[in-house]
Amino acid sequence: MRILLLVSAFNGLTQRAWIELREAGHEVTVELALSEEVMLEAVALAKPDLVICPFLKDRVPERLWREHRVIIIHPGPRGDRGPSSLDWAILEGERRWGVTALQAVEEMDAGPIWGWREFALPAEPMRKSSLYNGLVSDAAVELVVEVVQKAADPSFVPVPLDYGRPEVWGRLRPAMVRADREFSWAESSERVVRRIRAADGSPGAAALLCGMPVRVFDARMGPELVGQPGSVAARRGGAVLVHTGDGTVWVGQLRREDRVGVKLPAVSVLRRRLGRAPGSQPGFSEITYQRAGRVGVVSFDFYNGAMATNQCRRLVEALQYAVAQDTRVVVVRGGEVFSNGIHLNVIESARHPEMEAWMNINAINGVCKEIIGCTGQLVVASMGGNAGAGGVMMALGADRVLVREGRVLNPHYRTMGLFGSEYWTYVLPRRVGAEVAQSLTGEALPLGAASAVSLGLADRLLKGSREEFEQEVLEYAERLAGRDDYEELVRVKRERREEDERRKPLEAYRIEELAEMSRDMFDDRHGFAEARRAFVGKAKAVATPAHLASHRGTSGL
């Protein structure tokens, strides 16, 4: 079937839909819905049998939905309408939610229903971005597949939206405005966290902190300390602990509103306004180490998977500690997003962005070197979240790479105008071969978890929730540690690393990659500065990216 994906951005959800449909053999075209003219032109060029909108903020032109079957994937249960569905669901403490596939008609979100999914929401409020990229995306991709199957059935008739039916329990909700996102630190910690998470990761909840108007992100409950609401009680890593009406809340990220700014670690935004805030309190840890018998687990969970220079250096220390223990297997476990490599926001906001980028890439190279250079134990990479660029290459330094079903990997740097480092010229070809490595980095297209395994990029695909996935990874690591031939596996690993080192030292790969990166970062030969600014500033695209446009009408990998 010829399918057009009409989207507002080629984000995690749209990438998953694109991957799923292509792997099923369909001819899939992606077009950014930049204007009514662009949408109509895309349909004229693609001549689709079906138009699916898995992430579309704009109204579908009347001519388009009258002449073609256009299916909207809406992030709400049957009957839910409006552009702020997830925001309201989190803020109002909904315990069940859903995703609905409906046909585009004149009235937004009011068309006949093609399918739906419903699921429970946890009692603790989720971050909006976590809900969207997790439960919502999982349900949406299932619905996309179902919609295509139904579109091929000439007898299928969608069900009209009928609020008189008991199973249609959604309702029209207004678009959230700034007043809905404002909060006072004098409110309870639970209420503060809920309001922040309902606006995370965009546009953030609005408040005053240290006399500065800010948008607040990345909140979690803190200890029950007594203090003036809105005052900073402590700092840890890049986060600050803020007093509320009945306790404290950890805040990881802020964005200034009194000037043009980007989302950054809270300590970086507040800077001198923090005064002499105490240095440490428990409850906020981006990096942890846990031991379970013969297995050590280094866990890191960086906001949106971005790894700044200081975070990389702390992760190096954690890895050095882990490999010094008398365990047999080290698990390197990423967070909600495994890793997306260097921290573009921190780089862009630095006084000298080029120098910060240089320090950042060298620091993340240090992380990769610890993983590759661990020859006394086996290393397992646990990829329970999406990964991109250097984050993918970092995982490939491990002996075993386990990836969760439905995750998306972007093993390339091209779209950011970078050659790339993280020893990718060593770890990627040794897994997939030079030809496939060139294709992956050159075409700059996303890769599904199943395809990653079939190519040899990853070793095993595991299903289930993130918690179930992590438990399976731990069990896998325990079995690996208990194998009768464990010592032989370590011996072979060590000898292969020594042989590789004799053939070409690891340092040579680093030097060659950094020679290329220096031209990208300091000479800006491929537009890294502009690409970085556009990414950080969330600049609206002016055209569908060339690497997507060049794949119009193709299928397969």
Q: Could you tell me whether strands 408-410 and 386-388 are parallel, antiparallel, or unpaired per DSSP bridges?
A: parallel
Please report the beta strands in 392-481, taking only residues with DSSP state E, as ranges in sequence order: 400-404, 408-410, 447-448, 460-462
pLDDT for residue 555 = 38
Distance separating alpha carbons of residues 170 and 109, to the nearest angstrom: 11
Backbone Cα Rg of the chain: 24
- Letter for the amino acid at 478? E
Please give the DSSP secondary-structure letter assigned to residue 274: G
pLDDT for residue 259 = 76
Q: Alpha-carbon dihedral of residues 395, 544, 56, 405, nearest 10 degrees?
A: -20
Find the helix or strand (DSSP H, E) in which 45 lies: helix 36-46
Starting at the edge strand found earlier in the chain, the sheet holding 447-448 runs 337-339, 386-388, 408-410, 447-448
User: 310-338: b or e for each residue (b if 16 or more CB lie within 10 Å)?
Assistant: bbbebbbebbeebbeeebbbbbbbbbbbb
Distance separating alpha carbons of residues 311 and 417, to the nearest angstrom: 23
- How many other CB atoms are there within 10 angstroms of residue 544's CB atom? 20
Give how far the C-alpha of residue 225 lies from the chain's centroid of Cα atoms, to the nearest Å: 33
pLDDT for residue 553 = 46
Starting at the edge strand found earlier in the chain, the sheet holding 295-300 runs 287-292, 295-300, 329-333, 378-383, 400-404, 460-462
Could you tell me the pTM of the whole model? Answer: 0.94
pLDDT for residue 205 = 98
Taken in order 451, 452, 455, 460, the sign of the CA dihedral is negative
pLDDT for residue 280 = 65
Tens digits of per-residue pLDDT, 509-527? 999 999 999 999 999 999 9
Q: Could you tell me whether strands 70-74 and 50-53 are parallel, antiparallel, or unpaired per DSSP bridges?
A: parallel
Residues of the chain with pLDDT under 70: 277-280, 282, 549-557
pLDDT for residue 109 = 87
